[in-house]
Amino acid sequence: MAKKVRRQTAAPAADKTTVVVPAQDQKTLQALTALADTVVETAARRKPPHLDVPSRSLSNVKYNKTKRFIEMGNGKNRRELFNLSQAKSYMQTMLVSSGCKRLIEQGKTTSIRGLFYLLKHSIEGTREETFDTQDDCDPVIEDVEVMLNAMREELHLYAKNAGAMVGPITLIDTGDEIDCSRMGSGGYNIPSIVEPETVQFKKHDAKFILHVEKDTVWRRFNEDKFWRTHKCVLTHGGGQPPRGVRRMLNRLHNELQLPLYCLLDNDPWGYYIYSVIKQGSINLAYESKRMAIPDARYIGLRSKDFERCQLSPSVRINLKDTDIRRAKQIARYPWFEKKKAWQKEIEQMLRNGFKLEVEALISKDISYVTETYVPERLREGDFLD
């Protein structure tokens, strides 16, 4: 009788590819490893494993008058493994940390959406999902960022690109030389990851940065070659500028010593965008030092421009109750409440009872904003701090 031969399953071939972790990633990798070691050491002492996550609530945010931007306080929230109400969020935090560690070790990046799918699965023996939706995953990513004092980009995560740049500047993007004066109608698409290890500034002939709120206005400036006539870097952030755009503006301003002027809508949303660029955002207060630009200037649109520019009544947009409430809230921001010019600006918008978009200037002439409005504001130094 023939002997029954036990079939052996071949072990998967070992990955012989060795990824050299760059120096800039080693610090983040060490922080992730230290986080895991702390959990193991706590368990070894027969103590309940826990994580202390800095609180990102409004009550834990303060305005630093000396630095002139928003900072996080020292408040923390404890997340315990053996607390039934916290066990899942604890697991999710460690799962995100593990996923980011894997990305760094493999020398790869992924989107926050990609990380969600990388980590999403059913927990063995249950019908419970690690993450139900991306909305469950995103706050945990921010928790890991703030725990490790690391930017999302340092965790090898990126968001979608939503901004562009054009002007007399040449940069190196992952080894490729990009001349931003030769990028056509679409400009250079500002990536999510713009750290010095990825993007380097090679040379430039710019005198300042002009940041506009929307792509539609940016296209007018680009088509009219405003950046060439006035030697500036022209950027937009597609509305609320994403992190990559804010970080790029910060680097352009600080590393190249370029003044930053913001052309935004005359409404509470435009005021808020300026606030975020200048002082940082409450949600990302832990990254203000690398994103906020306290010396940014608001060049328009202004509440007085309806009369000053003799605009047509048809371009006015009546304020809604939500606009009024938001405007009053912004007026109470610590970085605005002591500034008489900003108080006057907001009060006049409320008295007007309407708001204005930058595109309203088109009612004067298709190129009024590029040929008259902004050049006059720059020449006269007419802007808000």
What's the CATH number where 177 sits? 3.40.1360.10
Which residues face 64 on adjacent strands? 69
- The reply to whether 294 and 369 lie within a common domain is yes
Q: Is the confidence at residue 286, as pLDDT, over 90?
A: no
More confident residue, 380 or 22: 380
Say whether both 76 and 177 belong to one domain: no
Mean pLDDT, residues 40-57 taken together? 87
> What is the pLDDT at residue 75?
86
Q: Tell me, what's the pLDDT at 14?
A: 44
300's enclosing H/E stretch is strand 297-300
Do residue 176 and residue 113 come from a single domain? no
Residue 348 has a CB neighbour count (10 Å cut-off) of: 14
Binning pLDDT at 50, 70 and 90, where does residue 328 land? very high
Q: What is the DSSP string of 31-49?
A: HHHHHHHHHHHHHHTT---
- 145 and 178 both lie in a single domain: no
Q: How many residues does the chain have?
A: 385
Query: Phi first, then psi: what are they for 169, rounded to 5°?
Result: -145, 140
Q: Are residues 211 and 269 in the same domain?
A: yes
Query: Can you tell me the mean pLDDT for 287-313?
Result: 92
Q: Which residues are catalytic?
A: 117
Nearest-5° angle of CA 262, CA 265, CA 269?
100
Q: What's the rounded mean pLDDT across residues 274-293?
A: 87
Domain-ending residue, one of 158, 182, 207: 158
User: Which residue range is the domain that position 295 belongs to?
Assistant: 164-380
Residue 3 in this model has a pLDDT that exceeds 70: no
Q: How many structural domains comprise the chain?
A: 2
Same domain? For 179 and 131 the reply is no
**Residue 81 located in a structural domain:** yes
CA distances from 255 to 177, 235, 248 (A): 19, 17, 10
Share of the chain above pLDDT 70, in %: 95
Q: Which residue has the tokens 């990851």?
A: 193
Please measure the distance between the N-terminal and C-terminal CA atoms of the chain and give it in whole angstroms.
94
173 lies in some domain: yes
Asked if residue 15 has pLDDT above 80, the reply is no
- Domain match, 36 and 101 both: yes
The reported pTM is: 0.84
Domain-located, residue 360: yes
Does 283 share its domain with 355? yes
Tens digits of residue pLDDT in 160-174: 778 999 999 999 998
